[in-house]
Amino acid sequence: MGPAPVSAASALPPEEPTPARRPGVGTVIRHLLGVGLMIAGLWATIELLLHRSAGQQIDETALAEVSNRLQRYTAQSSSLLNALPAISAGLAVAGILIVLFRRHRFAPALVGVLVAVGANGSAQLLKSTLVKPNLGIQDAVLNSLPSGHTTFAMAAGSALFLAAPRRWRPGLAILMCAFAVVTGVATVINGWHRPADVVAAIFLVSAWTILGMLVLRFLPAENRDESGTRFTGLLVIPLFTIFGLFLGFTALVTYLVSTYQHYPGAALLGSLCLIGAVGMLCTALIVCFLRGGLRAPVERAYTKVWTY
Q: What is the pLDDT along the chain (308 residues), one digit of tens a residue?
A: 455 555 554 444 444 444 556 778 999 999 999 999 999 999 999 999 999 998 899 988 888 887 666 666 666 666 767 777 788 888 888 988 888 888 778 889 999 999 999 999 999 999 999 988 888 887 777 889 999 999 999 999 999 999 998 888 999 999 999 999 999 988 888 888 899 999 999 999 999 999 999 999 998 877 766 555 565 667 889 999 999 999 999 999 999 988 888 788 889 999 999 999 999 999 999 999 987 544 444 444 444 443 33
Q: Is residue 149 part of a domain?
A: yes
Rounded Cα distance between 95 and 87, Å, is 12
Q: Is residue 270 part of a domain?
A: no
DSSP state of 294: -
Whether 142 and 132 have beta carbons less than 8 Å apart is answered as yes
Rounded Cα distance between 207 and 202, Å, is 9
pLDDT at position 299 is 44
Q: Is residue 176 part of a domain?
A: yes
Largest CA distance in the chain: 106
Q: Is residue 159 part of a domain?
A: yes
pLDDT at position 114 is 96
Whether 276 and 247 have beta carbons less than 8 Å apart is answered as yes
Q: Is residue 7 part of a domain?
A: no
Domain that holds residue 128: 26-68+83-229
Q: Is residue 260 part of a domain?
A: no
Whether 229 and 169 have beta carbons less than 8 Å apart is answered as yes
pLDDT at position 307 is 39
pLDDT at position 105 is 82
Question: Is the Cα torsion angle 171, 172, 175, 176 positive or negative in sign?
Answer: negative
Q: Is residue 293 part of a domain?
A: no
pLDDT at position 39 is 97
Q: Is residue 96 part of a domain?
A: yes
pLDDT at position 130 is 92
Rounded Cα distance between 69 and 188, Å, is 12
Cα separations (Å) of 30 from 21, 111, 202, 211, 233?
Answer: 18, 19, 20, 11, 18
pLDDT at position 111 is 95
pTM for the model stands at 0.85
Domain count, the chain: 1
